[in-house]
Structure 1
Amino acid sequence: MPSQAFKGIKTGGAPLAIIGSFMIAGAANAAPAFSPTSPYMFGDWNGHRTALEDAGVALSFDYTGEAASILDGGYSDSHTLKYADQFAVGANVDLERLFDVPGADVQITVTNRNGHSVNEQLSDPDAVVGGSSVQEVQGRGPVTRLTQFWYRQRLLDDALTLKLGRIPFGDDFAGIDSHFQNLAFGGAQPGNWGNDIYNWPIAQWAAVARADFAPDWYAQIGVFDINDSNLDNDNGFDLRTSDSEGTLFPVELGYTPTLNGLPGSYKLGFYTHDADNRAYGDHLDGRTSDTNTGLYYVVQQQVTARDGDPQRGLTLFSMGNANHGDTARIDRYLSVGATYQGPFDARPQDDAGIGLAYLRVNDDVDDYIGAYNATPAGALSPLPRQGHEVDAEIYYSVNLTNYLSVRPNLQYVANPSAVDSVDDAWVLGTTLSASF
């Protein structure tokens, strides 16, 4: 295949000429570095970046940093400040422009995460099930990973799309546009509360097929390999297929209408897989079960336009997730909220949001905790009883330039880690986002 691809360049001529042109191009109107109107901090590289995109290679260099401090409450009642961040470097390669492969592209993304979260002081360390995170970018440890490495093929005038490779679950399923810092308001919530579903930056060997079968309607199905070794920090670039524990099958039906000229997104999904997980209940025998199923929905609809501008206005959202059986740790999740793009005429690029989320720990987990606490070991060091957690956040995003934004936020966490004996907490946070 590689030899055929390069042979196509020699015979076609056009892709090679386009790539070559960026080496000598110097677009007179290219945005310079640090121009507030450029989408990139370092500008258009004297026109070379745009020439590369025209040739079929779109590069991305993004940074997200999240700071948080507990103002009051939490498990340790600490006012410590913690910072976590992520660098992401990516390339999308348009194979149609480069090698005359119609409707095909490849995505490669490498991420690096670092830092710590105040959840280490916020939550009860002995809790069997963790709650949400007030710094969503901190998850999965300080490590560099190959997060995306997939091939996509569009067929039948884009009515059918096939995707194969290393894919995070949330790339295609249960997604939502979100600027919240709390994990409970981000995308792909089944990956936060369902068993063996891995969100960004974890990738799995997977295949996804999507059919756009009617205007504004689509259906898709995925097949994801379940392999817990993907979570190990030493395996950030490991493409192993050994040690597979089962297969995840998500299905999603989506509707993306434009109502009164305003965009919306409605998603309903189901997933099941056959990997063994711990079965909770009033027993301590370590039994497992391969019954792992769940349902989810995502609703996001813009409902107003500011002064007739559909790029500004109020958007409402809601997400929900229900996990079945005694293997579920969080068996119910629900969130509601609103965002507003361009709240002030003087700052049309700013946005604001408010959200409320509810997480409920499975009753079977609490039955297990009760059984353990009835033993001599539990009497000496009992596990905390768990019920539900409530998360709330309000933020305002100041878009300083097209490539840099600062997003202060205030969060409230009731029953951190779903332990009602832990004091409710107020958390002050700030997100910094930059594109280079």
Structure 2
Amino acid sequence: MRFFEAELLQFNGQQVNEAAGSVQGYNSLEATAPLNRTELYQLWLNQTFNGDQISLRIGKLIPSLNFGNVSRPFGTQSHPQLFPSSTSLIYTPIFVVPSMLGFIPGYYNSAFGIYGSWKSWGSPKNDPAVPNGWYFQAGIYDGRGAQGIQTGLNWPDFSGALFEVAEIGGVWTPFAHQPDDGAGSIALGAWHQSGPLSAPGGATESDTGGFYTYLVQKIVRFRQSSYQNGIIGFLQGGWNNSRTAIINNSFGLGLTAIGPFPQRPLDSYGVGFSIAGLNDSPTAGYGFNSYETMIQTYAQYHLISNLYLQPVLTILPNPGVKGASSPSIAGTLQLTFPF
């Protein structure tokens, strides 16, 4: 099967993360400048083989959607795509492992490249709609984003820096008689960034790389219902050996309660914690504290149709920006309409 996608991005924002002293990014909608941009966000062609078990995609892609993304949806036996996400936290670590920030192309600097994946489910002896088994995926992308080039706004150049990443993982939906109980996924990934790379303080390196892992698990179901409900937990971590990275290591965890109240089956509530070891080396020159901790909680209320209202509270007991010597608190109100 062959299909393609084209997507345009319009973004207008402000430096809200810097105002809160956050290096990890308490608000994932703000990334690198320019904060007012119009760009071709995605343009790719996808070809599948062997009953959709093998997929090959080429074009302008968003690697952070595929690699290390804790919020990536996974299906269940009863509703293949009704588990929309493990969490609706808005902080950046659930979308990009902090130790890969500044290296992996993603929102909003997508990049041209090639992506391939294999999954064990979908063979004639398995239901292709039910993710239950192992998978492997890898990609090579224009890696000039680590050198400060806005890959989202520029044409590709594969003669210089490249970003390479691979991930192996498993997905399970073990209880056929209680279809969404126990569903989960686990992954281990490795990445490499070629250079040359540099930091503001003068540190340089020819290349760098690192590892990451995450686990998502449905813990309990509240009740029998046609709607997804229950508690989902996640763990994540990452590490790199870079002298020029913004963040060298990170660890996070969170819990999400979906539909805890029978009369409000589409509401959800969540909390997350993330700690990151920052590159505070004088030769890097970023001017960070040695680490940053972040706690975030939210309530996502269903209004009508696909419209949701989401108040979010974020506390940084230890902000990463050195000038932010005291804790910060940020409130966010978000209106979303998935389609």
- Helix, strand or coil: the match of 1:116? coil
Which residue of 144, 152, 161 corresponds with 2:38?
144
Q: Does 1:182 align with 2:91?
A: yes
Distance in 1 (CA, whole Å) between partners of 2:186 and 2:158 is: 36
- Helix, strand or coil: the match of 1:170? helix
Distance in 2 (CA, whole Å) between partners of 1:384 and 1:298 is: 29
**Any idea what the Cα deviations from partners look like across 1:135-190, whole Å, max 9, x if unmatched?**
21122322112111111111011111101110011122112223112223x21325
After TM superposition, give the deviation of residue 110 of structure 1 in Å: 0.9
**Any idea what the Cα deviations from partners look like across 1:56-109, whole Å, max 9, x if unmatched?**
xxxxxxxxxxxxxxxxxxxxxxxxxxxxxxxxxxxxxxxxxxxxxxx1110111
**Any idea what the Cα deviations from partners look like across 1:116-152, whole Å, max 9, x if unmatched?**
14333322xxxxxx61222211223221121111111
Unaligned runs of 5+ in 1: 1-102, 124-129, 373-382
- Helix, strand or coil: the match of 1:119? helix
Q: Does 1:278 align with 2:176?
A: no
After TM superposition, give the deviation of residue 366 of structure 1 in Å: 2.5
Distance in 1 (CA, whole Å) between partners of 2:141 and 2:149 is: 18
Aligned to 1:159: 53
* 2:173 alignment partner AA: T
Which residue of 251, 261, 266 corresponds with 2:186?
266
Which residue of 92, 101, 113 corresponds with 1:206?
113
Aligned to 2:281: 366
Structure 1 residues 243 and 173: alpha-carbon distance in aligned structure 2, compared to 1, 3 A threshold: closer
Q: Does 1:401 align with 2:321?
A: no
Asked whether the 8 Å contact 1:410–1:428 carries over to 2, the reply is yes
- TM-score normalized by structure 2? 0.82
Aligned to 2:264: 347
- Helix, strand or coil: the match of 1:105? strand
Unaligned runs of 5+ in 2: 72-86, 122-131
* 1:161 alignment partner AA: S
Report how many aligned residue pairs link the two structures. 306
Aligned to 1:326: 243
After TM superposition, give the deviation of residue 409 of structure 1 in Å: 1.3
Structure 1 residues 393 and 290: alpha-carbon distance in aligned structure 2, compared to 1, 3 A threshold: same
- Helix, strand or coil: the match of 1:423? coil
Distance in 2 (CA, whole Å) between partners of 1:211 and 1:196 is: 24
Aligned to 2:223: 307
Asked whether the 8 Å contact 1:351–1:398 carries over to 2, the reply is yes
Aligned to 2:82: none
After TM superposition, give the deviation of residue 241 of structure 1 in Å: 3.0
Structure 1 residues 164 and 415: alpha-carbon distance in aligned structure 2, compared to 1, 3 A threshold: same
- Helix, strand or coil: the match of 1:175? coil
Aligned to 2:2: 104
Distance in 1 (CA, whole Å) between partners of 2:148 and 2:198 is: 18
Aligned to 1:224: 141
Asked whether the 8 Å contact 1:267–1:298 carries over to 2, the reply is yes
**Any idea what the Cα deviations from partners look like across 1:362-408, whole Å, max 9, x if unmatched?**
3xx42437xx8xxxxxxxxxx85621110001100001023210111
- Helix, strand or coil: the match of 1:336? strand
- Helix, strand or coil: the match of 2:109? coil
- Structure with the higher helix share, 1 or 2: 1
After TM superposition, give the deviation of residue 218 of structure 1 in Å: 0.5
Aligned to 2:75: none
Aligned to 1:434: 337
Asked whether the 8 Å contact 1:248–1:272 carries over to 2, the reply is yes
Asked whether the 8 Å contact 2:65–2:95 carries over to 1, the reply is no
- Helix, strand or coil: the match of 1:297? strand
After TM superposition, give the deviation of residue 419 of structure 1 in Å: 3.2
**Any idea what the Cα deviations from partners look like across 1:186-211, whole Å, max 9, x if unmatched?**
21325x74443121222111111111
Which residue of 332, 356, 375 corresponds with 2:273?
356
Structure 1 residues 418 and 333: alpha-carbon distance in aligned structure 2, compared to 1, 3 A threshold: farther
Asked whether the 8 Å contact 1:230–1:236 carries over to 2, the reply is no
Aligned to 1:248: 163
Asked whether the 8 Å contact 2:146–2:197 carries over to 1, the reply is no
Asked whether the 8 Å contact 2:109–2:153 carries over to 1, the reply is no
After TM superposition, give the deviation of residue 237 of structure 1 in Å: 5.3
- Helix, strand or coil: the match of 1:202? coil
RMSD: 2.6
Structure 1 residues 429 and 289: alpha-carbon distance in aligned structure 2, compared to 1, 3 A threshold: same
After TM superposition, give the deviation of residue 275 of structure 1 in Å: 1.6
Range with greater deviation from structure 2 (384-393 or 315-324): 384-393
Distance in 2 (CA, whole Å) between partners of 1:255 and 1:107 is: 27
Distance in 1 (CA, whole Å) between partners of 2:238 and 2:92 is: 14
Distance in 2 (CA, whole Å) between partners of 1:346 and 1:366 is: 53
After TM superposition, give the deviation of residue 302 of structure 1 in Å: 0.8
Distance in 1 (CA, whole Å) between partners of 2:194 and 2:187 is: 24
Larger Rg: 1
Asked whether the 8 Å contact 1:349–1:399 carries over to 2, the reply is yes
After TM superposition, give the deviation of residue 220 of structure 1 in Å: 1.1
